Structure 1
Amino acid sequence: MKKMFIILAYLLFLVPLIFIVNFMFDIFTLEKIQGLPVFFPLFFCSLGLYFASKAYQIEKNTLTVSAIIANIILFLFPFIYMIGGTLIFGV
């Protein structure tokens, strides 16, 4: 059960991360969802954080702590991105 929670937590971290990397570097164009990848972490990482915290309650180890930290950092990315864009570009 713990392994399933960890796999889900890391999967819910990696999916938005792939979309954000594609959004930043324009690896392949996604014209239909132009700015949406920036906001994917708000939904996905909140679920990933839930599964990582459940895995941490079952067994406390570095894999679960790193899943929690990774999901928190990616959850905060849209806010940092918007504040940074406002400070740098003034828009």
Structure 2
Amino acid sequence: MHEKFVMIAYLLFFIPLIFIVNFFFDIITFEKIQGLPVFFPLIFCSIGLFFASKAYRIQKSALTLSVIIANLVLFLFPFIYMIGGTLLFGP
């Protein structure tokens, strides 16, 4: 059960990460969802944090702690991106 929760949490981390990398480097053009990949971590990583915390309660290991930190950092990315853009480029 622990391994399934960790795998789901990592999957929910990598899906928005792939969309963000695609957003910045424009590997595949998605014209209809232009800015939406920046906000995907709010949904996906919150669910990933739930599964990672469940896995951490079952078994405390470095793997579960790393997935919690990874999901938390990616969850905070939209806020950092918007605040940083406002500070650098103005309102």
Aligned CA RMSD, in angstroms, stands at 0.5
**Which structure 2 residues correspond to residues 43-82 of structure 1 after superposition, within 5 A?**
43-82=43-82
Q: Which runs of 4+ in 1 moved over 2 A?
A: none
Unaligned runs of 5+ in 2: none
Q: Identity over the aligned pairs, expressed in percent?
A: 74
Give the TM-score of the pair, scaled to structure 1.
0.99
Match for residue 14 of structure 2?
Answer: 14
Aligned length: 91
Q: C-alpha offsets along residues 39-60 of structure 1, whole Å, 9 cap, x if unaligned? A: 0000000000000000000000
Normalising to structure 2: TM-score of the pair? 0.99
Deviation readout 1:48-75 (Å, 9 max, x if unpaired): 0000000000000000000000000000
